[in-house]
Amino acid sequence: MDVLTRVPVREQEPAVRAANFEEVCLGYNEEEAMAEAARCLNCKNAQCMKGCPVSINIPGFIAEVKEGNFEAAYHVISESSALPAVCGRVCPQESQCEGSCVLGVKGEPVAIGKLERFVGDWKIENADKMPAPDIKRNGHKVAVIGSGPSGLACASDLARMGYEVKIFEALHKVGGVLVYGIPEFRLPKEKIVAREVEAVKKLGVEIETDVIVGRTVTIDELMNEEGYEAVFIGSGAGLPRFMGIPGENLNGVVSANEFLTRTNLMKAYDTHYDTPIYVGQRVVVVGGGNVAMDAVRTAKRLGAEATIVYRRSEKELPARVEEVHHAKEEGIEFRMLTNPTSIIGDEKGWVVGISCVEMELGEPDESGRRSPIEKAGSDFEIPCDVVIMALGTSPNPLLKMTTEGLETNRKGCLVADEKGATTREGIFAGGDAVTGAATVILAMGAGRKAAKSIDEYIRQKKH
């Protein structure tokens, strides 16, 4: 194996996996991981670390993998990341660590994500053999709202510091987008997410599900009546956007959030469950991010012909490169430079097609991406029975509406400073609730940063 070429990773065959919900990528075994780790040049001025949003000591953990010291590798990663088995699977490595790896200049960058996943999985498999931390409780209570990556990371750091932490989760399952959004075929729920959650509970974190803070209980009640000295809000950005085009109220138009929640959280794909889901024969998914790729690949697995409609070109697709590659292998059709103008219904109010217009790219907009412009007279129709809107999400306004003094910006995101402190004393926030829809690693990093700030805040209050 030459140093410029990656150790190939085993995957399910496209034709097989397009009809099941099992994980696509099978990951490295020990020998493969050690061989891939041996490609790392252990650069002194490691560019990969600069590309990682939480600055994992990448050459440090890879050097341990190379020697077969997997527990040591885990300890190196865990200084910076609480969820390596998750982030190794879902981070956009091509634009982060791997995008900066020097080996990528002439060949293939080190498979940093796959190695991180290997170490995270190794830790999950061997957790029982690792000594449980001996934590002394300090008698101070902190409430965490939301059990996504930001809430889990914040809660576990605070628990390690000795705080009594309770997570309040609106849904009946713990994990946020990791359970209700990202499908099983990318992130296994029982094998990975549930076991990461168990590890958080082992630190002493209590988790109560089916509690909608703002409805079941307010933040003020938690702080004034239940004795929580600080609150972390990690409530995410689960409110879907629609286009505002004619026909969006027809039967057969759904948000990607609803479609994915029915399949992932409520197991609509499993015939043992009663969750209803309407897929039809032809599904069009509007959007080009990870959410769109997850929705379209789920629709394909449920038996539909599935198409992506995206208004920019392939170069601008915001989804992870690996997901786009996998989607293509699985037979997903991509209609690039195409924008919907209306959804067409039959006399009974069911979707029968989507009217679109062709686009071309103009000057770059404020996001730096070239803006799509309509080509006059290029209208056409795509016949379909279901349209799934995957156009982005924003935070739910409930907590702002029910908590005096909690400010949001014009996009509905909570206002928080660089330490995660919101505009209300004792209330901290992080993750998608602050940034708008972003990434797991950023949410996890924000949760950890807020845990530090909460500790400082409570210590200061004591004096």
Q: Cβ-count burial of 376 within 10 angstroms (0-12 exposed, 13-18 middle, 19+ buried)?
A: exposed
- Choose between 26 and 41: whose C-beta lies nearer to ligand SF4: 41
Can you tell me which of 151, 252, 280, 340 binds ligand FAD, judged by CB under 6 A? 151
Beta-carbon contacts of 102 under 8 Å, excluding residues fewer than 6 positions away, are 41, 43, 47
- Choose between 58 and 161: whose C-beta lies nearer to ligand SF4: 58
Integer CA distances (angstroms), 217 to 214, 223, 234, 407, in order: 6, 11, 16, 19
Residue 318 binding partner per list ligand FAD, ligand SF4, none, with a CB distance cut-off of 5 to 8 Å that depends on partner kind: none
Rounded to whole angstroms, the Cα distance separating 95 from 84 reads 17
Can you tell me which of 161, 171, 414, 429 binds ligand FAD, judged by CB under 6 A? 171
Contact, 83 vs 444, CB < 8 A?
Answer: yes
Stretch 240-279: interaction string toward ligand FAD, x if CB under 6 A: --------------------x-------------------
Query: How many residues form the binding site for ligand FAD (CB under 6 A)?
Result: 42
H/E element, 73: helix 70-78
Residue 43 binding partner per list ligand FAD, ligand SF4, none, with a CB distance cut-off of 5 to 8 Å that depends on partner kind: ligand SF4
Rounded to whole angstroms, the Cα distance separating 107 from 105 reads 6
Can you tell me which of 93, 235, 394, 408 binds ligand FAD, judged by CB under 6 A? 235
Least distance (Å) between residue 268 CB and ligand FAD: 15
Q: With CB under 6 A as the contact rule, which of the stretches 56-64, 174-182, 299-307, 308-316 interacts with ligand FAD?
A: 174-182
> Of 399-438, which residues contact ligand FAD (CB under 6 A)?
399, 431-433, 437-438
- Choose between 298 and 338: whose C-beta lies nearer to ligand FAD: 298
Beta-carbon contacts of 199 under 8 Å, excluding residues fewer than 6 positions away, are 124, 127, 156
Q: Is 169 in the site for ligand FAD (CB under 6 A)?
A: yes
DSSP code for 251 = B
Residue 42 binding partner per list ligand SF4, ligand FAD, none, with a CB distance cut-off of 5 to 8 Å that depends on partner kind: ligand SF4
Beta-carbon contacts of 31 under 8 Å, excluding residues fewer than 6 positions away, are none
Rounded to whole angstroms, the Cα distance separating 378 from 431 reads 40
Residues that bind ligand SF4 (CB under 6 A): 40-43, 46-48, 58-59, 62, 101-103, 110, 112
- Choose between 87 and 154: whose C-beta lies nearer to ligand SF4: 87
Residue 48 binding partner per list ligand FAD, ligand SF4, none, with a CB distance cut-off of 5 to 8 Å that depends on partner kind: ligand SF4
One-letter amino acid of 305:
E
Residue 438 binding partner per list ligand SF4, ligand FAD, none, with a CB distance cut-off of 5 to 8 Å that depends on partner kind: ligand FAD
- Choose between 20 and 42: whose C-beta lies nearer to ligand SF4: 42
414, two tokens: 């909570």
Q: With CB under 6 A as the contact rule, which of the stretches 15-23, 147-155, 372-380, 449-457 interacts with ligand FAD?
A: 147-155
Least distance (Å) between residue 159 CB and ligand FAD: 17
Integer CA distances (angstroms), 28 to 33, 42, 234, 304, 382, in order: 5, 20, 32, 31, 41
Residue 73 binding partner per list ligand FAD, ligand SF4, none, with a CB distance cut-off of 5 to 8 Å that depends on partner kind: none
Least distance (Å) between residue 41 CB and ligand SF4: 4
- Choose between 40 and 91: whose C-beta lies nearer to ligand SF4: 40
- Choose between 59 and 252: whose C-beta lies nearer to ligand SF4: 59
Rounded to whole angstroms, the Cα distance separating 340 from 202 reads 49
- Choose between 4 and 26: whose C-beta lies nearer to ligand SF4: 4
- Choose between 181 and 204: whose C-beta lies nearer to ligand FAD: 181
Dihedral sign, CA of 217, 218, 224, 230?
positive
Can you tell me which of 88, 149, 240, 318 binds ligand FAD, judged by CB under 6 A? 149
Q: At what angle do helices 58-66 and 30-37 cross, to 10 degrees?
A: 130
441, two tokens: 């690693």
Polymer length of the chain: 463
Contact, 144 vs 448, CB < 8 A?
Answer: no
How many CB atoms are closer than 10 A to CB 168?
A: 24
- DSSP lists the bridge partners of residue 367 as none
Rounded to whole angstroms, the Cα distance separating 169 from 143 reads 11
Contact, 290 vs 319, CB < 8 A?
Answer: yes
Least distance (Å) between residue 245 CB and ligand FAD: 22
Least distance (Å) between residue 109 CB and ligand FAD: 18
396, two tokens: 């739910």
Q: Is 238 in the site for ligand FAD (CB under 6 A)?
A: yes
Q: Where are the alpha helices (DSSP H) in 302-362?
A: 321-329
Q: At what angle do helices 194-202 and 112-126 cross, to 10 degrees?
A: 60
Can you tell me which of 58, 62, 182, 332 binds ligand FAD, judged by CB under 6 A? 182
Binding site for ligand FAD (CB under 6 A): 90-91, 145-151, 168-171, 176-177, 181-182, 211-214, 234-236, 238, 260, 290-291, 294, 320, 396, 398-399, 431-433, 437-441, 443
